[in-house]
Amino acid sequence: MKRLLPLLLLTAAIAATPALGRDEAPKEGVDVGKTSRLAKLVPAEQVERGAAQQYQQMKQQAAQQRALGADDNPQVKRLRAIAQKMLPFTAKWNERASAWKWEVNLIGSKQINAFCMPGGKIAFYTGILDTLKMTDDEVAAVMGHEIAHALREHARARMGKQAATNIGANVVSQVLGLGNLGNAALGAGANLLTLKFSRDDETEADLVGLDLMARAGYDPRAGVSLWKKMQAANKGAPPQWMSTHPSSDARIKEIEKHLPQVMPLYERARTAGK
């Protein structure tokens, strides 16, 4: 019983801990509820530092392969301009975002892929731009989705869940004499470049992304046209960017369901921009 006490205390601590960051979504726009308490098990600074190191390594490898988009590349300029319009609205979802050192880069690859690592490290692959021939609104839909993963700290929550498993595994391994299984379990989720999210995380990122793009003056209806393009591009075999996502039909319906909540934000931003 004494060996199980740490796990019981951990469970109680999670239950008693307030939700991470902002407890409520902005009053206007979409409402996706509270962020995961599991994220509190892993220090944000540690996750963001690890993400920055992995992102830098990725950039160095891309540069060595002449695959890193130059600052004067038209597509790089385009991506960064879209990001600049969206970033002022990120702190509404995560107060830490205002202190992040945001980066946006383009990687030469045929992969239909994009991501935003913890701490605001964004990358697009040329494959997603070239294959889907995206409008600026559709780029904003992808970027908003990926930024939302970082704002809602989905990676940190996944690592927190891994840490909880690690503690439980260590207790079991001590009882059964199996060695340090817990540390191995925690280490398995350390690669932030390849971390997979749950379907609930993906749906949440879609909705928060709609909110972000609408506030920045990008038409949230582009989320529908984007996923129709994705359907046509994958031809029955989901590309990497969709591998763990809900089906295109399901997410299109979910986006359409929430358009009434974000269209007023878009109309107001568009009017203000005239």
In tens, the pLDDT along 203-236 reads 899 999 999 999 999 999 999 999 888 888 777 5
Distance, in Å, from the CA atom of 261 to the CA atom of 158, rounded to the nearest integer, reads 29
Task: Give the residue-averaged pLDDT of 252-270.
Answer: 93
User: Is residue 22 in some structural domain?
Assistant: no
Lowest average pLDDT, out of 31-45, 97-111, 139-153, 234-248, goes to 234-248
Token output for 111: 């992969």
User: Is residue 3 in some structural domain?
Assistant: no
Q: Spot the catalytic one: 48, 103, 138, 146.
A: 146
User: Is residue 174 in some structural domain?
Assistant: no
pLDDT of residue 11: 46
Instruction: Label residues 97-134 b or e (16+ Cβ within 10 Å = b).
Output: beebebbbbbbebeebbbbbbbbbbbbbbbbbbebbeb
User: Is residue 21 in some structural domain?
Assistant: no
Distance, in Å, from the CA atom of 54 to the CA atom of 25, rounded to the nearest integer, reads 30
Length of the chain: 274
pLDDT of residue 9: 38
Identify whether 146 is a catalytic site residue: yes
Structure confidence by residue, pLDDT tens digits, 28-76: 888 877 777 766 777 888 889 989 999 999 999 999 999 999 999 999 9
Could you tell me if 106 and 79 are in contact, meaning their C-beta atoms sit under 8 angstroms apart?
yes
- 264: pLDDT strictly greater than 80: yes
Q: Average per-residue pLDDT in the chain?
A: 79
User: Is residue 171 in some structural domain?
Assistant: no
CA 42 to chain centre: 17
Domain of residue 84 covers 36-156+190-273
User: Is residue 26 in some structural domain?
Assistant: no
- Could you give the number of structural domains in the chain? 1
Nearest to 203 by CA among 117, 145, 116, 140: 145
Q: Model pTM?
A: 0.78
User: Is residue 25 in some structural domain?
Assistant: no
Nearest to 144 by CA among 74, 65, 95, 207: 207
